Every structure is written in structure tokens, then in C-alpha cells.
Amino acid sequence: MKVGFVGLGNMAKAMIGGMLAKKIAEPENILGYAKTQVTRSTVKEKYGICILENNEKVAKESDILILAVKPQMFGDVIAQIKDSVSTGTLVISIAAGKTMAQIQEAFGKSLKLVRCMPNTPAMVGEGCSGVCRNELVSDEEMDRCMRLLGSFGVAQEVPEGMMDAVGGVSGSSPAFVFMFIEALADGAVRAGMPRKQAYQFAAQTVCGSAKLMLETGMHPGELKDMVCSPSGTTIEGVRILEEMGFRSAVMNAVGACVDKSKKM
């Protein structure tokens, strides 16, 4: 099975890294092309995959073709490759906001289509991807896709109508988490901690808290309450976050991502 990548940026590299680490595909069975020579050479050197002459060649030779360019590039790239993609090829799009109907229309023919919304923690094998498919993708083909997309983190099948929500809660939210980590660390620096150490404490706490919730299956509210002793220090911080509209700001940020995704 040949897996091809059109675009070899951050997400494609994360996916390739996961596929190689989990031995989903050998480097010689992964094909790719990117716009610039520098990206093509760097990716070839790092992962040992086959770089082909152009997008059309990648499209023609792949059994599974992953479209990993920015949504703004989709029209141009699909126009370039549409005649090279056969109806037997399974096409996976990772573009934010591009629906399967829009992709199908751009190709101008019925194709086996899968949409996946990954996120950047995939770069360290800890991604979270929402995945949906059209009616032409069989259960067996979807199993193969889920193994591939699960090689760089957790992958769950969702209805296509939920993909905008996936984009908000996991695709975009690493940016919010990094802002939170920066802010936590700034608070510690303000209290006298050296900056490097503050980032380590903040990041490890976010990582450990997420792990605690996932591994115990406990409700986040219960875990929050466990930290808040009566008349203690933590409840004072919680009061300030509530006063400053922390939860509502986060909910509105996710909502803004969902709205933008619907308009793309």
C-alpha cells in the first residue's frame, strides 16, 4: 500500500513520523511532494520517504492520498491532481473547514473520501483526531485509515457535522493551552521563579492534570474540587478566574473557531 502526501508541512511530518514509528508503512511506501525544494530535501533526509517530481505523480501512485496543504491552496492543488486520482484511491483531507461535498465538487467526480482534523500534539505522538468518511468508504477501508490516523495519537470517528466542533476543541485549542501555560509561567515569574523553570512547572502541571483526568475517568469539576481546600489558597485563584470570565472566554474562543471553520 502506497500512502502519498501532497504538502509536507507540520501536520504531514507529524503523520509521517507516527506512521514510521508504529510501522504502519515503510519509508519506501510513503510518497510526497511539497512546494519548495528546501522542504522536499529536509523531509527526504529526515524520514527517508520517496519524494516524487510533482503532485500529479504522488496522486497517481498513491492508494491513500493525504491532502496536507493549507485550505487556501486546496482549489489550485485539486485542479492540478484531479485527473491523476483514480476512483479507487482513498483521499484523506486534513484541511480545516473543507467539507466532503466541497472536496468532491472540486474533484468533479465521486471519490472515496475521509476527512480528518488532527492537531499539533501529533508531532509527539499525542495527537487527537476527529475522522469522518463518505458512503463510498467501506468499513475495512475505514479500519485501515483509523490505524494510520491512530499512529500519531487518538483517532475517533465522528459524524461530519461534528468536524467544526472537533476543530475548536482539539484542532485549534493547543494554541489556547500554550497561552495558558505562558500565563501560568508569567504568574510564577512574577512571584520570583526563573522563567525556564516556570515553563517546566506550568507545562508538566497541564500534562499531568490531563493525564490524571484521562486515567481516573473522574469529572474535571471533581478534580478541581479536590485541589480547593476550604479557606485555602486555590479557591482564591478560582474566584479570580471566575470573576475574570475564564470559562466563558474559553467557550467563546472555541465558538469563534467553530464559526470560522463553518465559513471556510
Ligand X SMILES: NC(=O)c1ccc[n+]([C@@H]2O[C@H](COP(=O)([O-])OP(=O)(O)OC[C@H]3O[C@@H](n4cnc5c(N)ncnc54)[C@H](OP(=O)(O)O)[C@@H]3O)[C@@H](O)[C@H]2O)c1
The Cα–Cα gap between 194 and 181 comes to: 15
The amino acid at 185: A
CB of 78 to ligand X, least distance (A): 10
Distance of closest approach, residue 71 Cβ to ligand X, in angstroms:
5
**Residue with CB nearest ligand X?**
9
Q: In terms of Cα–Cα distance, which of 187, 177, 130, 128 is closest to 158?
A: 130
| Residue 153, burial from CB neighbour count under 10 angstroms (0-12, 13-18, 19+) | buried
Of 157 and 186, which CB lies nearer to ligand X in the complex structure? 157
Residue number with CB closer to ligand X (24 or 92): 92
Of 39 and 62, the one with the shorter C-beta distance to ligand X is 39
Q: Which is nearer to ligand X, 73 or 213 (CB)?
A: 73
> Helices 10-21 and 37-47 sit at what angle, rounded to 10 degrees?
20
- What minimum distance in Å lies between the beta carbon of 174 and ligand X? 7
Residue 97 CB, shortest distance to ligand X, in Å, is 7
Instruction: Identify which of residues 70 and 262 has a Cβ nearer to ligand X in the complex.
Output: 70
Name the grid cell of 210. 490531563
Compute how many other C-beta atoms are within 10 angstroms of the C-beta atom of residue 174.
15
Q: Residues interacting with ligand X, by CB under 6 A?
A: 6-12, 33-36, 39, 55, 68-71, 73, 76-77, 94-96, 117-120, 171
Closest separation between CB of residue 217 and ligand X, Å? 27
Cell, residue 247: 470559562
Contact 90, 77 (CB under 8 A): no
CA-nearest of 77, 166, 182, 82 to 127 is 166
